Amino acid sequence: MGTVVSPAKRSTRPQGKREFPAIESSSALNEVGSVNDCSLILRAACFAAERHRDQRRKGAEETPYINHPFAVASALCDEGGVTDPELLAAALLHDTIEDTATTKEELRKLFGSRIAGIVAEVTDDKSLSKAERKRAQLDHAAHASKDAQQLKIADKLCNLRDILTSPPADWPMFRKYQYFEWAKEVVDQVRDANPLLAEKFDAAYAQRSKL
């Protein structure tokens, strides 16, 4: 979903050695209330951390990639008012299909159909060129589920903040502006899914003069 991954750091080793109990249905997630909700989120965090463990962000500081899914989930919860544990788990997992060896079916077996579906919705088709992937996001954003739309806003918000504070060292100014404008085009189509997050995005976008 237009994330900033450092290709040179992408892992080629077998991943996911830790075993996670499978969840067959969403109803199973609520049998024990909030304790189980916490377990779901923690399992998603552990899974994402393992799958992204050899990856770094493209920023000059090359921070661990897992910081990004954590930031996206935190933005949804703390700034967007999202308390749905499955959506927060999907946020933690949102780049696992796109940027690791994880499959949708694997996520379905481990975390349930809804979470796997959300992640799949925000996953770019890597068989397309970068320009085609960006166009596809613009074409599909308005038709995505509300869950996926909220996740898109949070993801774009976090990417803008990263570009403002630690942009990729090899990105010229025009590329930074180009990303800001493209991200706004995407968010403008889905802002009604979470007006609180859209407002935070607008504040970050307004900082583009500081690039």
For 84-140, the DSSP string reads -HHHHHHHHHTTHHHHSS--HHHHHHHH-HHHHHHHHHT---TTS-HHHHHHHHHHH
Instruction: Work out the widest C-alpha separation in the chain, in whole angstroms.
Output: 51
Helix orientation angle between 173-190 and 195-205, rounded to the nearest 10 degrees: 160
Give 3-state DSSP helix, strand, coil % of the chain, rounded to 5. Answer: 65, 5, 30
Catalytic residue status for 185:
no
One-letter amino acid for residue 108 of the chain: R
One-letter amino acid for residue 17 of the chain: K
For residue 4, report the phi and psi dihedrals to the nearest 5 degrees.
-105, 95
- Total Cβ atoms within 10 A of residue 195: 12
Catalytic residue status for 62:
no
Catalytic residue among 50, 86, 95, 98: 98
Catalytic residue among 37, 50, 86, 99: 99
- HSE at residue 137, side-chain half, CA atoms within 13 A, is 29
Tell me which residues are annotated as active site.
98-99
